[in-house]
Amino acid sequence: MWSYKNPVKILFGNDQISSLASIVDDRKYALVTYPDITFETLISDIIKEVGEPIIIIRDVAPNPDRKLLSSQSRRFSDLKELPEVIIALGGGSVIDSAKVFSAAAGNFEKVERYLKNADAGLTSSAIPIVAIPTTAGTGSEVTSFATIWDEEHGRKFSLAHDKLYPEIALVDPVLMLGKPPALTLATGLDALSHAVESIWNINANPVSARHAVAAATSILANLPKLLNDLDNLELRYKIAEASLNAGLAFSNTKTAIAHNISYPITLGWGVQHGIACSFTLPTILLSLIGLGGFRETALKQIFGNDLEEGAENLRHFLASVGVGHSFSDQGVSGTDCKKIIDDAFIGERGKNFIGSKEGFWEAAEQMGSIE
C-alpha cells in the first residue's frame, strides 16, 4: 500500500509572474526576498502591479540561521496586523524563511517549541505562501518543510508541517535567466540529489518515483548544456521543470543519506549545499546494486540496466562539471569522514535510506571515495 499527496497549485511557464496580481488580489501581503541589487527591478515591478506590501523582509541569507530568523520574525509582531499572504521571491533560502515566518506569525518561540517537541503543535493559522523560485534546485515551492541552520551550535533543523505547503507555486523560468554558473550548477545538483534520494528511500512510492525519473533524466541530459549556455531560455525551462519534478518527488519522501552526510560538510567545511549533497551520489548508487522492486526499476530508467556502470557514469558526469566524488575532494579527512558517515546513518534522513551503512562503506572503498 502507498499514498501520494501534494496540495500545492502549480502555475508554470514563461512570464507566469504576470499572474501575480490576480493571485494576491486584495490581500495584504508581505514580501520576502534577497538584498541582492539584481532583485530591485523585480521588486519594483511587483509593487507596481500588486501594490505596496505591509512589510518587506529583504535581508534573507543563504542557509538561514535561527538567530536571523528570530530577529526577522519579530518584525512581523511590530505590525498592526499580520499579512494575509506572504510572497516568497528567491531561492530555497527565501522560501524556507517564508515558511518560518508563516509558522511563527510574529512569534519565533512557537517555531522553536515545535522543533523541540512536535507534539507542541503549530499555529492553526499559518499564513498562506505564494512561492516564486528564482533558482532551479530546492523544490521548496512544493514541499511542506524548511531547513533552519544553527551555526552557533553546528546543528540543522527541519521544520515540517502540512500547513507549510505553499498555497501556490509560481514557477517562471524567465526569472532564472542570468544566474551565474556556480549557482546554476549547485542548484541543479541539489535537484538531482532530491530526485534520486526520493528513490532510495523507505518512503518512496510509484508516483514519487515517476517524478524522480523525469527530473533526474532531464538534469543529466541538460545541466551540462545549460552551464555552457546560461542565457538559453529553453534549457532554463527544462531544468526548472526538472527541479519542480524533483520537488514533487521528495515532497512525499523527504531526503535520505546523501543529505544527512552533507549537512556537517556544509556547516564545518563551507561546501555549498548542492555540491555537498551530490558528491556521494555515485557511491550510494553503487551500494544499491541488487535493490530490486520499483526503486531499482526507477534507478535503471535513469542510469541504465548496469547500475555499476551507471555509478561510474555518474562519477564521470560530476567530474565533467567540476565536482569530485571523494570526501577528500571536499576537504574532509579520513578521521572526520568516518564520524560524519556514522552520524549520518543515525539521523532521521539516514533512517530514510533503503540501503545499509555496511553497503555504503564497501562501495566507498570500491570507488575510492574515502581514504
**CATH number, residue 128:** 3.40.50.1970
Which among 120, 142, 175 is the end of a domain?
175
Residue 16 maps to a domain: yes
Statement to judge: residues 156 and 272 lie in one domain: no
In the DSSP assignment, the letter for residue 127 is P
Residue 262 maps to a domain: yes
**Contact between residue 273 and residue 190 where contact means Cβ atoms under 8 Å apart:** yes
User: Please, what is the Cα angle at 172 between 171 and 174, to 5 degrees?
Assistant: 155
Statement to judge: residues 165 and 276 lie in one domain: no
User: What pLDDT score was predicted for residue 120?
Assistant: 61
User: What pLDDT score was predicted for residue 121?
Assistant: 64
- Identity of residue 342: D
Ramachandran category for residue 196: left, alpha or beta (phi over 0 → left; psi -120 to 50 → alpha): alpha
Statement to judge: residues 283 and 339 lie in one domain: yes
CA 214 to chain centre: 17
Give the chain's domain count. Answer: 2
Provide the β-strand partners of residue 89.
Answer: 132
Which among 125, 142, 175 is the end of a domain?
175
Give me the phi and psi of 324, to 5 degrees please: -80, 155
User: What pLDDT score was predicted for residue 155?
Assistant: 85
User: What pLDDT score was predicted for residue 116?
Assistant: 79
Statement to judge: residues 194 and 60 lie in one domain: no
Which among 144, 175, 206 is the end of a domain?
175
Residue 146 maps to a domain: yes
Residue 36 maps to a domain: yes
Supply the pTM of this predicted model.
0.95
Residue 4 maps to a domain: no
* Segments forming the whole domain that contains residue 105: 9-175
User: What pLDDT score was predicted for residue 123?
Assistant: 56
pLDDT tens series, the chain, 371 aa: 899 999 999 999 999 999 999 999 999 999 999 999 989 999 999 999 999 999 999 999 998 999 999 999 999 999 999 999 999 999 999 999 999 999 999 999 989 888 877 656 665 679 999 999 999 999 999 999 999 988 888 888 889 999 999 999 999 999 999 999 999 999 999 999 999 999 999 999 999 999 999 999 999 999 999 999 999 999 999 999 999 999 999 999 999 999 999 999 999 999 999 999 999 999 999 999 999 999 999 999 999 999 999 999 999 999 999 999 999 999 998 889 999 999 999 988 999 999 999 999 999 999 999 97
**Contact between residue 261 and residue 344 where contact means Cβ atoms under 8 Å apart:** yes
3-state secondary structure of 88: strand
**DSSP secondary structure letters along 34-71:** ---GGGHHHHHHHHHHH---SEEE----SS-BHHHHHH
Residue 231 maps to a domain: yes
Residue 3 maps to a domain: no
Grid coordinates of 278: 551530490
Which contacts (CB < 8 Å, 24+ apart) does range 58-62 have? 58/31, 58/32, 58/33, 58/34, 59/35, 60/32, 60/33, 60/34, 60/35, 60/90, 60/93, 60/94, 60/97, 61/93, 62/93
Helix ranges restricted to H, 119-232: 181-199, 206-227
